[in-house]
């Protein structure tokens, strides 16, 4: 057990898995000599050689499609997108080939795509997006969004082990900001089991990724006013832990669904709709959503601050609910 950043947890988890399982290899732009844009694979090529840590050409389609083929041939590819934004260039391969191959043709595609995502440091419209909602709509893809170093490692190992295409969204704004104890040994964190980041009685927040920490700060604020907030960290969007969400909502009878991605058609809608359908009778207030507005992600700090839900935004949404 040692304190590690979220980034180190990812890196260590991946290295450990590569040492354990020769079928695991890494491919992506600049993952080799350079160690990846965020240095997750720093030193990997030296340890595992150039055919297990592969510098790909600037070709997201070939990377995703290549991993699909290699996975079907029995390897366990881990692709790195330099930024999650660029997965748009691999969209067709993922949704057309990888996602549907098991159901259609019985061929499992055990591959993982690592996607550094999210904003908070003026990355602008193309280096800050949270594209998880788009993919969560496609049957056949699993979607992982860890919030803590411990989950970052455990969910990555589960992703690599999973016999399906898994999109692993690692939030860049957590990379070096969030540190915690991470077990040294190999372990897996199951998909589809939410984590109660904080227990509470008055209002539930359903969220994932970096927003877990924003919600936690807001909950802290509200505690001083005597409002007790429960935070449910989904950890994975596909599958998502409906049971945990509905239980929390039934307990508090008020809920805020929170995400960093834009509003319309975001995955928050799915969660809110499910709550409204399944525990309608338990609700004492409308199902509220707090998200980014329907715009691209802005570059300039004051705009970006207005775009990404801030602690104060969450706190006032929670207060409003509590007072309903």
Partner 1 sequence: MAIAREAEPVGSLQEVKEAGLDREDLLGVYRNMLITRGIEERGHILYKQGKIPGSFYTGRGNEAAAVGVATAMDDQDVGTPLHRDMGVHISRGVEPWRIFAQYMGRADGPTHGRDGNVHMADSRLGLLAMVSHLPAMLPVAVGCALAFRIREEKRVAVGWFGEGASARGDCHEAMNLAGVRKLPVVFVCDNNQWAYSTPTYLEYATEHVADRAEAYGFEGVVVDGTDVLAVYRESRRAIEKARGGDGPTLIECLTLRMEGHAVHDDAFYVPKDMFERWASSDPIERFRTWLREHAELGDAEEDEITSGVKKLLNEALTRAEESPLPDPSSLAEGVFATPEDLDTPHHK
Query: Least distance (Å) from partner 1 to the CB of residue 191?
Result: 10
294 burial via Cβ count (<10 Å: 0-12, 13-18, 19+): exposed
Task: List the catalytic residues.
Answer: 127
Is residue 323 at the binding interface for a second copy, with CB under 8 A as the rule?
Answer: no
Q: Is 50 one of the binding residues for a second copy (CB under 8 A)?
A: no
Whether 185 contacts 235, CB under 8 Å: no
Q: Minimal CB distance to ligand TPP: which residue? A: 86
Q: What's the sign of the alpha-carbon dihedral 130, 57, 53, 27?
A: positive
Q: Residue 265 binds which entry of ligand TPP, a second copy, partner 1, none, with Cβ cut-offs from 5 to 8 Å by kind?
A: a second copy
Interface pattern 54-73 for ligand TPP (x via CB under 6 A): ----x-x-------------
Residue 283 engages ligand TPP in binding (rule: CB under 6 A): no
The answer to whether the beta carbons of residues 151 and 180 sit under 8 Å apart is no
CB of 40 to a second copy, least distance (A): 24
| Helix (H) and strand (E) counts in the chain | 12, 14
* Under rule CB under 8 A, residue 278 binds a second copy: yes
Contact, 207 vs 231, CB < 8 A? yes
Q: According to CB under 8 A, which residues from 104 to 163 bind a second copy?
A: 104, 125-126, 133-134, 136-140
Terminal-to-terminal C-alpha distance of the chain: 44
| Nearest distance from C-beta of residue 132 to a second copy, angstroms | 10
Question: Which helix (H) or strand (E) covers residue 9, if one does?
Answer: helix 6-20
- By CB under 6 A, name the binding residues for ligand TPP: 29, 58, 60, 82, 86, 89
């Amino acid at each position: 057990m040692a304190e590690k950043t979220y980034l180190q947890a990812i890196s260590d988890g991946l290295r450990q898995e590569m040492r354990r399982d020769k079928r695991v290899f890494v491919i992506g732009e600049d993952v080799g000599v350079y160690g990846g844009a965020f240095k997750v694979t720093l030193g990997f090529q030296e340890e595992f050689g150039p055919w297990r840590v592969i510098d790909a050409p600037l070709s997201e389609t070939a990377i995703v499609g290549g991993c699909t083929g290699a996975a079907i041939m029995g390897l366990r590819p881990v692709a790195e997108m330099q930024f999650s934004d660029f997965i748009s260039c691999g969209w067709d391969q993922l949704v057309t080939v990888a996602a549907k191959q098991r159901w259609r043709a019985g061929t499992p595609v055990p591959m993982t795509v690592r996607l550094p995502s999210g904003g908070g440091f003026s990355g602008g419209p193309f280096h800050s997006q949270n594209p998880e909602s788009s993919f969560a709509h496609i049957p056949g893809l699993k979607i992982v969004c860890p919030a803590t170093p411990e989950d970052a490692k455990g969910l990555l190992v589960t992703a690599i082990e999973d016999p399906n295409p898994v999109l692993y969204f690692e939030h860049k704004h957590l990379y070096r900001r969030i540190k915690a104890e991470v077990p040294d040994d190999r372990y897996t964190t199951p998909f589809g089991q939410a984590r109660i980041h904080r227990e509470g009685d008055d209002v539930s927040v359903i969220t994932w990724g970096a927003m877990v920490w924003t919600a936690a700060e807001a909950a802290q604020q509200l505690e001083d006013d005597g409002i007790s907030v429960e935070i449910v960290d989904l950890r994975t969007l596909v599958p998502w832990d409906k049971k945990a969400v509905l239980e929390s909502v039934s307990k508090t009878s008020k809920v805020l669904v929170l995400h960093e991605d834009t509003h319309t058609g975001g995955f928050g809608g799915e969660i809110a709709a499910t709550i409204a359908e399944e525990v309608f009778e338990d609700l004492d207030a409308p199902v509220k959503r707090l998200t980014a507005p329907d715009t691209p992600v802005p570059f300039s700090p004051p705009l970006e601050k207005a775009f990404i839900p801030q602690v104060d935004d969450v706190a006032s949404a929670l207060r409003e609910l509590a007072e309903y």
